[in-house]
């Protein structure tokens, strides 16, 4: 039995989608994840999530790396040099998909977008459409007929029980996946692993012990813990940090040009950006220049604002 002095080494990660330059919200997620892992003496890895190869480019991955280096957020492994790209790992996701398939926990789904959006579809507490389970009990005959018409996506069947976990920022979570999302997709109709499966397989195989990212993925944590359990992996700890929103309360996107890292890099130093973000989420009491390295001694989850979103000025 390990004693308490032999704590498992902390390993955090940043897993951007290289579909463009980062904005302040992405930088905040990277900074919090880096601080959480590094302040615990852990390592921090970088993985480019380019499952959707039509939207992503190696040039964006290289640019993200250049921006992270400029910000002082250095990583220990992964990245372009180590070829840490999801698009090069499809064969690994396939093995774990087969494991789910052997357990008979997945089934083919032939629903079209129109089927999914049908007015009668149940809705979760926040209005998202919950999958109705329409294809859950198709007969072998139905499957053969429908397969001749189109390739199915594959869903994992979720039980009507709660997934419980403690988020580093939002505390105790208890989520009934059947009510909140229903059976979810683990392989897309084009044969590529869906985000939920790929992220679990990667984080587990890469030894990640804590996942720190934006609060938009809080529900995903429950879906992912369910997959960790199904695949026999130990789940990491999760910490979701506030999302930055523009003046209209809408999550920052590439349209909020002034908070794109390219624009910010032209008029601000790395210390100014880091200091402003740390101040914005309550980590430091004043908006002042500070490096990521200097923040290591300041970092504590208890200081971070327990808000799903924080509004910032994009003017």
Which residues of the shown chain bind ligand GLU in the complex (CB under 6 A)? 15-17, 49, 199, 213, 217
> Which CB, 199 or 304, lies closer to ligand GLU?
199
- Coil vs helix vs strand at 40: coil
> Which CB, 135 or 211, lies closer to ligand GLU?
211
Helices then strands, each counted (H, E), the chain: 11, 12
- Coil vs helix vs strand at 93: helix
Q: Kind and range of the H or E element at 315?
A: none
For the CB of residue 17, give the shortest distance to ligand GLU in the complex, in Å: 4
**Alpha carbon distances (Å) from 144 to 83, 135, 156, 191, 215:** 39, 13, 19, 17, 40
> Which CB, 246 or 284, lies closer to ligand GLU?
246
For the CB of residue 132, give the shortest distance to ligand GLU in the complex, in Å: 26
Nearest to 239 by CA among 21, 3, 26, 37: 37
> Which CB, 83 or 103, lies closer to ligand GLU?
83
For the CB of residue 197, give the shortest distance to ligand GLU in the complex, in Å: 12
- Coil vs helix vs strand at 21: coil
> Which CB, 80 or 217, lies closer to ligand GLU?
217
Q: Are 253 and 292 in contact (CB under 8 A)?
A: no
For the CB of residue 59, give the shortest distance to ligand GLU in the complex, in Å: 16
Q: Which two tokens stand for residue 60?
A: 């964006």
For the CB of residue 221, give the shortest distance to ligand GLU in the complex, in Å: 9
């Amino acid at each position: 039995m390990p004693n308490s002095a032999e704590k498992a080494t902390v390993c955090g990660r940043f897993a951007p989608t290289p579909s463009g330059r980062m904005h302040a919200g992405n930088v905040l997620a990277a900074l919090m994840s880096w601080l959480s892992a590094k302040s615990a003496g852990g390592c921090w890895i970088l993985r480019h999530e380019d499952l959707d190869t039509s939207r992503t480019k190696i040039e964006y991955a290289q640019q993200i790396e250049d921006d992270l280096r400029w910000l002082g957020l250095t990583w220990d492994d992964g990245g372009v040099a180590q070829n840490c790209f999801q698009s090069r790992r499809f064969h690994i996701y396939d093995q774990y998909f087969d494991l789910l398939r052997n357990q008979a926990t997945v089934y083919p789904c032939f629903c079209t977008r129109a089927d999914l959006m049908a007015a009668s579809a149940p809705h979760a507490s926040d209005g998202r459409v919950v999958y109705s389970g329409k294809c859950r009990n198709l007969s072998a005959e139905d499957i053969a007929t429908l397969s001749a018409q189109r390739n199915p996506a594959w869903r994992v069947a979720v039980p009507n029980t709660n997934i419980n976990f403690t988020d580093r920022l939002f505390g105790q979570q208890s989520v009934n996946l059947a009510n909140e999302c229903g059976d979810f997709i683990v392989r897309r109709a084009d044969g590529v692993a869906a985000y939920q499966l790929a992220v679990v397989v990667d984080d587990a195989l890469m030894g990640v012990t804590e996942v720190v990212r934006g609060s938009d993925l809080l529900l995903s944590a429950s879906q992912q813990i369910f997959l960790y359990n199904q695949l026999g992996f130990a789940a990491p700890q999760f910490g979701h940090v506030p999302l930055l929103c523009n003046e209209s309360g809408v999550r920052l996107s590439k349209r909020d040009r002034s908070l794109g890292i390219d624009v910010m890099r032209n008029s601000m130093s790395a210390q100014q950006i880091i200091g402003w973000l740390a101040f914005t989420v309550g980590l430091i009491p004043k908006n002042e220049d500070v490096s990521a390295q200097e923040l290591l001694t300041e970092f504590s989850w208890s200081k971070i604002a327990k808000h799903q979103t924080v509004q910032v000025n994009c003017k």
